[in-house]
């Protein structure tokens, strides 16, 4: 892919105003979809090839119901307990899908197995094993993405790129997990020249993994890109973009609660 300059596409200031009505949500969703379509046009891709996953962490139930009225059916949540509470409180709404996108400890895996439709942050066999066991007990399956640390930062969860191939070879042992692809968080930087290589790394890794992926493991999905960098991610091949603040507005809770500074 040629290096096209991306001046207006990336950076800070990408949170929308706080959405407090259904009309606000329609407006913010429209503008995110317009940005997705523009990035797709630049990349010669179909807008339908990119799934928008609205990320609703810190957003309360009342506002999630407004987003639902504006057409949102998928919600991405970073913390399991927060997600499980919302899923329970909103069980009256038809067609909701909950996607857990944050690091999971084995002791929370049983909660995920009960309510989640997708888990995007798989990075340990211990978690895979507990999830699979609990899912089988529930008679459920779960779409999973393997999280990869493409930035090399200690603060980011995920497997190192060279750990992913041997990891994926072990996943057929957990049949309740439907492995769909890879997820990453790029480095947080306003500089596209630092962000973009993370996305390139994930796409190239998928290309290599596909060559000897075990039967039944489809590596179609690349979940990468957030409010500040999803256009770049789309240009580099994202099939899922996880967008919070450009839809819901700025978060008041500091992100350090979701992304611990070290581990």
**Chain contacts with ligand PLP (rule: CB under 6 A):** 55, 57, 78, 101-102, 185, 226-228, 242-246, 258
Count other C-beta atoms under 10 Å from residue 167's C-beta: 17
Identify the DSSP state of 108.
Answer: G
Give the whole-angstrom CA distance, residue 238 versus residue 49: 9
Are the C-beta atoms of 71 and 91 separated by less than 8 Å? no
Report how far apart, in Å, the C-alpha atoms of 149 and of each of 90, 92, 96, 202, 246 are: 33, 37, 29, 9, 24
User: Tokens 């379509």 sit at which residue?
Assistant: 37
User: Whose Cβ is closer to ligand PLP: residue 213's or residue 230's?
Assistant: 230
Minimum CB separation of residue 220 from ligand PLP in Å reads 19
User: Whose Cβ is closer to ligand PLP: residue 76's or residue 237's?
Assistant: 76
Q: Output the residue with the shortest Cβ distance to ligand PLP.
A: 244
Minimum CB separation of residue 57 from ligand PLP in Å reads 5
CA 174 to chain centroid, in Å, comes to 21
CA-closest candidate to residue 117, choices 206, 164, 177:
177
Minimum CB separation of residue 196 from ligand PLP in Å reads 17
Minimum CB separation of residue 15 from ligand PLP in Å reads 7
User: Whose Cβ is closer to ligand PLP: residue 28's or residue 43's?
Assistant: 28
User: Whose Cβ is closer to ligand PLP: residue 28's or residue 227's?
Assistant: 227
User: Whose Cβ is closer to ligand PLP: residue 149's or residue 227's?
Assistant: 227
Are the C-beta atoms of 190 and 179 separated by less than 8 Å? no
The stretches of the chain forming alpha helices (DSSP H) are 22-43, 61-69, 80-89, 109-115, 125-138, 164-170, 192-211, 230-235, 245-248
User: Whose Cβ is closer to ligand PLP: residue 213's or residue 222's?
Assistant: 222
Minimum CB separation of residue 157 from ligand PLP in Å reads 9
Q: How many residues does the chain have?
A: 263
Minimum CB separation of residue 160 from ligand PLP in Å reads 18
């Amino acid at each position: 892919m040629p290096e096209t300059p991306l001046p207006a596409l990336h950076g800070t200031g990408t949170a929308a105003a706080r959405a407090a009505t259904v009309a606000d949500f329609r407006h913010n969703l429209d503008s995110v979809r317009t940005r997705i379509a523009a990035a797709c046009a630049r990349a010669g891709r179909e807008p339908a090839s990119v799934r928008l996953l609205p990320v609703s962490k810190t957003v309360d139930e009342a506002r999630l119901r407004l987003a639902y009225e504006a057409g949102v059916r998928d919600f991405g949540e970073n913390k399991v307990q927060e997600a499980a509470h919302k899923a329970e409180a909103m069980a009256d709404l038809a067609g909701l899908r909950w996607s857990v996108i944050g690091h999971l400890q084995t002791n929370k895996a049983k909660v995920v197995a009960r309510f989640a439709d997708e888990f995007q942050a798989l990075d340990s066999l211990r978690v895979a094993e507990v999830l699979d066991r609990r899912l089988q007990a529930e008679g459920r399956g779960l779409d999973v993405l393997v999280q990869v640390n493409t930035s090399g930062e200690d603060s980011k969860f995920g497997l190192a790129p060279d750990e992913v191939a041997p990891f994926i070879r072990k996943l057929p042992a957990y049949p309740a997990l439907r492995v769909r692809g890879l997820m990453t968080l790029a480095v947080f930087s306003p500089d596209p020249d630092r962000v973009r290589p993370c996305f390139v790394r994930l796409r190239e890794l998928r290309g290599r993994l596909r060559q000897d992926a075990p039967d039944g493991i489809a590596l179609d999905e690349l979940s990468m890109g957030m409010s500040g960098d999803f256009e770049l991610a789309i240009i580099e091949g994202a099939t899922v973009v996880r967008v919070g603040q450009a839809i819901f507005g700025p978060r008041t809770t500091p992100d350090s609660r979701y992304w611990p500074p070290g581990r």
